[in-house]
Chains A and B, each alone.
Chain A
Amino acid sequence: MTSPTNAADSLLEVAAPSRSLRSDAWRRFRTNKLAMFGLFLVVLLMLIGIFGPYLVQDPQAQERLLFKTGPDATHWFGTDQVGRDVFARVVHGIRLSLFIGFLVTLLETTVGIALGAIAGWYGGWTDGVIMRIVDVLLALPYVLIAFALAAVFGYGVLPVVVTLVITSWLTTARVVRAGFLQAKVFDYVEAARAIGVPTRRIIVRHMLPNIIQPVLVLIAVGIGGAVLAESALSFLGVGVQEPTASLGLMIARSRSFFADAPGLLFFPGAAIVITVLGFLLIGDGLRDALDVRGDV
C-alpha cells in the first residue's frame, strides 16, 4: 500500500546514501586477499562443523590400552590421554565452538540493535537508563557472571551462552546508538519525520542501513570473540564438562601431557586460532570494504 507519505518518502530516499554501496563493498571485499582467505577459512570450518561429526569416529570411545599416541592412519591427530580420537574431538569441538559463537552473536546482536536503537532514537531518560545499564555491565568481568549462572543452572552450555550474550550486546548497543544519533540529524530523516512518515518505516529504511556497516563488522569479530571467551570459560572450569569435546577444555587438560603429546595442545589450539582468525580477517575485510570515506 502506498500512502502519499510513503510515496513522498520514497522520493526522499533518492537523496539518501545509495544501496549501490553493497555492490561496491562486495567488490572491494572480493579483491582483499586476506579477507577472502578469512572467508575461505570460515566456510571450511562451517562445513567441518556441520558435516564433520557425522563422518568421524565416536569422540568418546576410548582405545583400551592405546593412548597419547601420535598421528597415524587410524587416528589422524593421534589419541589423547585416555585413548580417544583427537581428530574426532577437534571436529566436535569446532562444531560446539561455532554453535556457541553463532548463537551468542545472533542473540546479542538482536538485543544490542533493539536496545541501541531505542536509546538512540528516543534519547533523554530512556537513553540515559539504557546507557547506565551498559556501563554497569561493562564494569563486571564476565567470569563473575558465568560462575554465578553456573551455580544456578549447573555447568554446561547454558550459563556460557547466557553470560556471553549478557556481556556482548553492550558494544553492539553502543555502536547502534551512535549510528542512530548520527543519522537522526540527517536532512532526509528530519524531512521524513516532518512529513509524518511512520517511525517504523523511518527506522527500517533510513536508520538501519546506517548502522549495518559497523554492526556487520561487530558480528564477524564477535563470533571470534565468543569462541575465545567460551574457550576461556571452559579453561576455568565453568562451561561444558568432560567428557564433552570442547576445544577450551581439551587445551586445559593438555598442559599436563605437553611433553609426551604436544599434539593434544596444538590441534585444538590451532582449531581455535584458525576459527578466530577467519572471523577476524572477515571483520577487517568488511571494515575496509564498507568504509565509504575513500582511499584509506
Chain B
Amino acid sequence: MIRTKRWRAPLAGVFALALLASACGDSKDDSSSGTETTEATAKSGGEFIDGAQLVADNLTSYDPGLVQTLDESQVTTAVYDGLTDFDFTDKVNPVLKGDGAERFEPNADATVWTFTLKKDLEFSNGDPVLPSSYKFAWERNARAGFASPYGYLINFVKDGASLQEEGSTVTTLDSIVADDTALTLTVTLESANADFAAIVTHPFFGPLPQTLVEANLDDWGTTAMVGNGPFKMAAAANETEVVLVPNDKWDGNVEGDTKPKLDKLTFKIQKDPESAYTDFESGNLMSATIPSGKYSQALADHNNTVSSGTLGVYYFQFGFVNNPQLSDEVRDNSLLRKAISTAIDREQINAKVYENSRTLPTGVVMPGIPGYKADLCEFCSFDLEKAKGLMEDWKADGGTIDGPITINFNTGGGHEDVVSIVQENLKAIGIESTTDPISEKYFGTMADGGCRFCRAGWYADYPTYGNFSYDLFSTDSVGGNNNGSFSDPKYDELLASAQAETDDAKRAELYQEAESYLLNDKMAVVPFNWYTGDQVYADNVTGYDQPPLGLILWEKVGLK
C-alpha cells in the first residue's frame, strides 16, 4: 500500500493477538468491577475514538476498488473481509489461512487457483456472499474507466490486461469462473504465480454485494457501504469522521476472534499528526500518531506501539522519465545515483526525525519477508568518502550537473526535516537542491511523471517479496505505485521468473537477484529506514497494536 507514512495492507487483518481471547471469553456480567459501560459484558462495549488513522490529505476513497493509502485501508478492512488472510499470531512467521474461503488450492504448476467458499456467509444486510460476489467485484474494480490505483493487480489473472486497456469494451473475464452452487471460484492466471492466494488478501479482491453496487457502480465509496467484515458503516463517511458499528453477521477472523468488543468505532479525520497529537494529549482522542520530534516524550508518557516491528520501508525514488539530470535518459547516471545514496546520512535522519525509533535498512526488503537477505545493498549506508569517490568517478566519466536537483515530498509527517537533512548531505558532495513540497494528490502527481527525487513509503500489502518488487518497480506498476516510473526489461524478466518459481528457496534467490540488480546496478531506489510502530493510545484501551502489515484489527480493540 502506498502511503504518506504508512502503507495499507489489503489484508483483512490477520492479527492473532491473544488478548481478546483471554479478555472477553465469557459474557458473565461482573458488576463488582464497576464497569462504566452499560453493556452486558464487562470489558466489552464503549466507543473508541480514533485520531491516528485518518489524515485528511491522504483520503480519497474507502471503496475497496479504490483504496490506496494505509489510512483508507484501516476503514475498508474493518468493513470487508477477503478470501484469505494472514494469521500474524507469530509475527515473524505469518500463516496464510482461508477467511472467506474454506480451502484454496493451486494446480500443479500454480497457473490455476481454486477457492472453495465457506457456507452461509452473508453481508451485513443479509445478502449472501457468493463466488459471484467476488467475480463481480474483481471485474468491476478492474474496469479501465474506474482507474483503480491497484488496477494492475488484475494482470495476474489471464486476460486481465484486457480489462485495464484504455477504451476497452471487455467487461467480464472467462478466466474467472464463479460457481455459486458448488461455492467455488476458479481463477486461471496469466502466468504461474505461487503467491496468488496471498495476493487476494488485498481489498481489491474482496467481495461486493452485486445488486447494491450495480446501482451505484462508481460512487459506491460515497455511500454507507455494505460489507462482510467485523464492522459495518453506521453512515456514509463524511469530511469529519467515519463511524462504524459491529456487524452481527460477521463470521470471525483467521485468528479466532468472533465478535468485536466495541460498541462503536469512530475515526475522526485529522488535519495533520501534530494537531491530532495535541488533541490526544488533551484527552479528546484515544489514539494518535506520534509526530516527528515527539518520540521520547510519547514513549515516556503514554502507551504506544513503537516496539512493534512492521513491514514497511521509507524510501526515495529517482524519477526515470522527464528527469535527464538523474535518470538514464540521456546518459548512464547510475554512478551519480549511487553517490547520492551513499551520501545520505541515515543515522542522522533516524536520530533527529525519528529519535532512533526506526531501523536502518540494508536493502528495500526487511526481515519478516520470506526471502529476506541481510546486507543486500552496497550503497545504502552513509559513507561520505565513498560518496565523494563515486562522484569523482562519475565526473571523470563525463557527468555534469547543470543546476539544482529537485526533491519532491508530501507535506506534513516530518518529511520537511528529512529533506532538510538530505539537502545538507547533498551539499557535502557538491550537489545543490531545491524542494518541491506537495500537499495534495502527491502520489498521483509523482506517478504521472512528476518525480525527480521523490519520497515514498510502502507498507506490505501482504508479506511477500513480490509486493516489494512487482508492485513498486515493475513496468506494469508504472502509473500505479511505481512513483519514479522505473522500467527495465531485465528487472521485469527477473521478477517474472521469480514469480513463476514454485520452489521457495529458488524463488527467494531470484527475487534477491532482482533487488540486487535494482539497487547495486541501477540504484533506482534509496531506502532510508524501515518502519516501526508509531502510535500512542489511551490508558484505558486494550488490544491496540500495529501488526507488521500496519492494519489494526479493530475487532480486538476494547476499553477497560
Contacts and interface: CB of A to CB of B under 8 A. Distances in A.
A–B contact at 8 Å CB threshold (below)? yes
A127 B297 CA distance: 61
Contact of A82 (B294, B411, B421): B421
Nearest to A264: B293
A256 to B, nearest CB: 5
A253 B293 CA distance: 11
Nearest to A64: B348
A9 B296 CA distance: 77
Chain B interface residue number, banded: 20 to 34
Interface string A245-264: 00000000101110110000
Nearest to B349: A82
Given A81-B352, A81-B417, A242-B435, A260 B424 contact: no
Contacts of B352: 65, 67, 81-83
Contacts of B420: 62, 82, 242-243
Contacts, number: 56
Contacts of B297: 259-260
Given A65-B348, A259-B294, A60 B424 contact: yes
B416 interface: yes
B292 A64 contact: no
Contacts of A260: 293-294, 296-297
B293 A82 contact: no
Interface in B333-367: 345, 347-348, 351-353
Main DSSP-derived SS at the A contact region? loop
A95 interface: no
B61 interface: no
Nearest to B427: A60
B27 interface: no
Contacts of A68: 293
Interface string A132-149: 000000000000000000
A5 interface: no
A241 B435 contact: yes
A70 interface: no
Contacts of B294: 256-257, 259-260
Interface in B428-444: 435, 437, 439
B144 interface: no
B298 to A, nearest CB: 10
B452 to A, nearest CB: 15
B414 interface: yes
Interface in B265-286: 274
Contacts of A60: 424
A77 to B, nearest CB: 17
A123 interface: no
B319 interface: no
B176 interface: no
B291 interface: yes
A65 B435 contact: no
B419 interface: yes
B239 to A, nearest CB: 20
B423 interface: yes
Contact of B419 (A62, A67, A242): A242
Contact of A241 (B348, B351, B424, B437): B437
A61 B293 CA distance: 19
A60 B428 CA distance: 12
Nearest to B419: A242
A256 B417 CA distance: 11
A255 B272 CA distance: 12
A166 B347 CA distance: 46
Nearest to A83: B352
A237 interface: yes
A81 B352 CA distance: 7
B421 A62 contact: yes
A27 B291 CA distance: 55
Given A242-B419, A242-B435, A64 B293 contact: no
Contacts of B411: 237
Contacts of B417: 81-82, 253
A242 B435 CA distance: 8
A256 B293 contact: yes
Nearest to B411: A237
A61, A65, A82 — which one has the most chain B CB atoms within 10 A of its CB? A82
A260 B421 CA distance: 20
A82 B422 CA distance: 11
Contacts of B419: 242
B434 to A, nearest CB: 8
Interface string A223-248: 00000000000000100011100000
Interface of A: 60-62, 64-65, 67-68, 81-83, 237, 241-243, 253, 255-257, 259-260
Given A82-B353, A256-B414, 6 more contacts: A67-B351, A83-B352, A237-B411, A255-B274, A259-B294, A260-B296
Interface of B: 274, 291-294, 296-297, 345, 347-348, 351-353, 411, 414, 416-417, 419-421, 423-424, 435, 437, 439
18 contacts: A65-B351, A68-B293, A81-B292, A81-B293, A82-B352, A82-B353, A82-B420, A83-B352, A237-B439, A241-B437, A242-B419, A243-B420, A253-B416, A253-B417, A255-B274, A256-B274, A257-B293, A260-B293
